[in-house]
Structure 1
Amino acid sequence: MKQYDYIISGAGLAGLSLLMRFMTNPAFNTKSILVVDKAAKTENDHTWCFWETQAGLFEPVVHHRWQHVNFFSSQFSSLLDLAPYTYKMIRSIDFYKHVYEEAGKHRNIEFIYGRVEAAGNAGSKGLVVVDGNQYYADFVFNSILFQKPEQPGQAHYLLQHFKGFFIETKESFFKPTEATLMDFRVDQKNGTTFAYVLPFTPTKALVEYTLFSKQLLNDEDYTAALKNYISSVMGLQDYTILEQEYGVIPMTNMKFVKRVGKVINIGTAGGQTKGSSGYTFQFIQKHSDKIVADLLQYGDVSENKSLLQKRFNFYDSTLLNILSGEKLAGDKIFSDLFGKNPAERVLRFLDNETTFEDEINLMGTLPQGVFMKAAWQEIFK
């Protein structure tokens, strides 16, 4: 029976972000660490965007940065200065290679690939089962959703689903210093829908079509909408599609199980996707930092939920109440947020980092009747 100090179950964003922190802290050099997943990551299967005020742990693999972003809607359009924030993008393949290369320098880290069947507990140890073989550890950090969490009747559940084209033009078309954060100048019949454009060079960009809704679309519908946006809204006719990407992210106030015994859930499986926006990257980084700090200080991982977390969970539930009930159009909400507040305040709010005074000011710019009614409904559930 092989035992480890830590097992990381799932080598995606959450698992490898935690692994990177273990590797950059000498205190973990003596810890035996096993990473398990179905296969090594060898493809560019995700694009992660986030904002921060300074260089982060994964700065070496940031593919592009923008200080200015466009916002477009029928109510408000503007080029926004994000200072002191910078909007950043990481390609998953660069992230994977970076972490794997670092892991190759550490003899205490082992990778096993196969069908990860379960994560659970055996006495005082955590365990994972891979292709029928059991592996034990003091702690298992699991990012795999083995089954969808039960959905209570009063929980809100939407999907953020998207398809993107990496495109190239023959002539210069894009301005690499300006991204489009949200463009609501698309049909809203399927729910809150917007496009965003991330230009890397004058001839290359990622164009993404995104929806917040309860139902997914057929693949041909995403493709048609993307091509229509590129031709009709962007005014671009001649381009080549280099790559495509597709994804689905849960937007919910369902209670994810954070821990069972020695199994600590991380990533989306551990509730690190922000319910009202689908943003995940920075929440995973913060959670990874907390895990490392707790292990160093206590030799365990605490589960305390702060008043700050409870406050933002309430805000998320209120917005989900409105969006899932179609009580107010999403383009109206985001137009008010970005049109009536400094961009940096909105970004801090979306990162759960505003003060209560900031939040009062933000709430004052939104339709009071709709939000107050939704808030009371969430309070009295």
Structure 2
Amino acid sequence: MWHRGGVQNSGPVDVDLALVGGGGAASLVLAALDRHGVDGLRIAVVDPVHRRGQDRTWAFWDRPGNDLDPLLSASWRQVEVTTGTGRRVLDLSPLRYAMLRSAPVYARAAEAERRLGVRRVSAGVRSLDDDGDRVVIGCAGPDGGPLRASWVLDSRPCPPVRPGRTTWLQHFRGWWVESDRPAFDPDRAVLMDFRTPQPARGVSFGYVLPVDDRYALIEYTEFSPTLLSGRQYDEALGRYRDLLGLDPARLRVREVENGVIPMTDAPFARRPSPRVVRLGTAGGATRPSTGFTFAAMYRQADQVARALAEGRAPVPAPAYPGRHRWMDAVALRALDRGLVGGPEFFARLFDRNPAERVLRFLDGATTPAEDLAVMRSTSLLPMVAATAGDAVGRLRGRLRRSAVPVGATPAPVTGSGVDPAPGDAGDR
């Protein structure tokens, strides 16, 4: 059954654009379509859950003065990076580090839905059958029905095309805490605090995102191959709270956030068939070396909307240049094999480069010359070893794939068993 403006319709429905998955990536697309004045399109959102309220927090960097400004919970022009050798206060100008909670994003998307006349289908998706001209969407659930779309934007989590040479996870737990007296500096965020105990294999750090002097998100994060138990996350957060000098008797935990984001050099199929385009993590928006996703999702949404406004196919450009994906693969390998230490690796990046260059590099916006400067700031011999190992790994992978007989069906690719976010991917 189809619902639009309170009217129930039966029978097949044809649309120009279907958004499969209704979370952050789809919400950004809807807002961008509205912002760019795209009209006359028949649009559907297919998701068993209609997302509202605060279910996640995105942190990212950008330039002030865009349409996100009124939605932000907080932003900072200065951040701290702390290692065992000291604390660095980084001036991000002309960029800012920003925090955006999901409720205003979902609310803006709901307004765009109304203005665009979007059909919302409360159903899961069993199949996408793309014949090169239209996509038949097989829906599951009591509200499901036959749906045909000219284009499908799919933001559901999915496994990569094939396993990566290195696969880690960014996993974290955060407490939204309220203090009964001033306890935070609202003008400065803690981006990475490496004074946390480091895991045997991986990197850990804490960070603090203050909304005001009494209210902040404090979080414990690990980059590692395996998850922790709930008790271990709470213990790590408690230790980090104490390290910050916060008195637990004066704090109240108002909310708890958890997240898991893939960090892998495995390739994802951005366009698995002619008229199906993937967004979010499944579309390559997650930066393998950091897990940050939001800025690339925002770019994808804007590119999709611009293309549709100009009558072009809604296919965004790759989220990051190929050379950056290669550099990320090398960095992940160096961290995974213990060739470099995580705190040392990130400390050298920020010590030997302007903060604005590092952030633009992580967003995929640096020039080749700037990329070379970033590479020179890392430890030379370990990174040479990681580069050689990555090259050997790539060669072995190509040889294995070329050895598969013609017509043979490759073994299925399995993921970590953890979805970064139900309905669509990307939390950072």
Please report the TM-score for the alignment, with normalisation by the length of structure 2.
0.84
- 2:338 corresponds in structure 1 to 326
The answer (yes or no) to whether the contact 1:275–1:316 under 8 Å persists in 2 is: yes
Distance 1:303 1:167 in 2: 38
Distance 2:68 2:324 in 1: 26
User: Does 2:182 correspond to 1:177?
Assistant: no
Q: Deviations over 1:296-338 (max 9, x none)?
A: 45632457769x7111111111111112222211111001111
User: Does 2:121 correspond to 1:112?
Assistant: yes
User: Does 2:15 correspond to 1:4?
Assistant: yes
Shift of residue 92, structure 1, vs aligned partner: 0.7
The one-letter amino acid of 2:72's match is V
Between 311-320 and 296-305, report the one with greater CA deviation. 296-305
- 1:256 corresponds in structure 2 to 268
Correspondences of 1:239-254 after superposition (within 5 Å): 239-254=251-266
Distance 1:276 1:316 in 2: 5
1:20 aligns to what SS in structure 2? helix
Correspondences of 1:1-381 after superposition (within 5 Å): 1-26=12-37, 28-107=38-117, 109-122=118-131, 124-131=133-140, 133-145=145-157, 147-152=158-163, 155-190=165-200, 191-237=202-248, 238-259=250-271, 260-297=273-310, 299-301=312-314, 309-380=321-392, 381=394
The one-letter amino acid of 2:92's match is L
Q: Deviations over 1:232-270 (max 9, x none)?
A: 333433200000000100011111111112111111111
The one-letter amino acid of 1:115's match is G
Q: Deviations over 1:180-214 (max 9, x none)?
A: 00000101025200011001111100001100010
1:187 aligns to what SS in structure 2? coil
Please report the TM-score for the alignment, with normalisation by the length of structure 1.
0.93
Unaligned runs of 5+ in 2: 1-11, 395-428
The answer (yes or no) to whether the contact 2:36–2:306 under 8 Å persists in 1 is: no
Task: Call closer, same or farther: CA 1:269–1:305 in 2, change over 3 Å.
Answer: closer
Q: Deviations over 1:74-128 (max 9, x none)?
A: 1342111111111111001121112212322332x12121223333324621132
1:104 aligns to what SS in structure 2? helix
1:201 aligns to what SS in structure 2? coil
2:173 aligns to what SS in structure 1? strand
Shift of residue 379, structure 1, vs aligned partner: 3.3
Distance 1:61 1:76 in 2: 34
Distance 2:95 2:209 in 1: 16
Distance 1:304 1:169 in 2: 44
Task: Call closer, same or farther: CA 1:128–1:304 in 2, change over 3 Å.
Answer: same
Shift of residue 70, structure 1, vs aligned partner: 1.1
Shift of residue 15, structure 1, vs aligned partner: 1.1
The answer (yes or no) to whether the contact 1:251–1:276 under 8 Å persists in 2 is: yes
Shift of residue 130, structure 1, vs aligned partner: 2.3
Shift of residue 372, structure 1, vs aligned partner: 1.5
The answer (yes or no) to whether the contact 1:81–1:343 under 8 Å persists in 2 is: yes
2:129 aligns to what SS in structure 1? strand
The one-letter amino acid of 2:275's match is K
Task: Call closer, same or farther: CA 1:301–1:32 in 2, change over 3 Å.
Answer: closer
The answer (yes or no) to whether the contact 1:76–1:339 under 8 Å persists in 2 is: no
The one-letter amino acid of 2:173's match is K
The answer (yes or no) to whether the contact 2:178–2:252 under 8 Å persists in 1 is: yes
Distance 2:30 2:41 in 1: 12
Between 178-187 and 121-130, report the one with greater CA deviation. 121-130
The answer (yes or no) to whether the contact 1:48–1:281 under 8 Å persists in 2 is: yes
Q: Deviations over 1:277-302 (max 9, x none)?
A: 11101111122222233344563245
Shift of residue 139, structure 1, vs aligned partner: 0.1
Distance 1:10 1:83 in 2: 35
The answer (yes or no) to whether the contact 1:162–1:209 under 8 Å persists in 2 is: yes
The answer (yes or no) to whether the contact 1:75–1:332 under 8 Å persists in 2 is: no
The one-letter amino acid of 1:366's match is T
The answer (yes or no) to whether the contact 2:132–2:275 under 8 Å persists in 1 is: no
Task: Call closer, same or farther: CA 1:367–1:266 in 2, change over 3 Å.
Answer: same
Shift of residue 150, structure 1, vs aligned partner: 4.9
- 2:8 corresponds in structure 1 to none
The answer (yes or no) to whether the contact 1:9–1:128 under 8 Å persists in 2 is: no
Distance 1:346 1:371 in 2: 18
Aligned length: 376
The one-letter amino acid of 1:96's match is Y
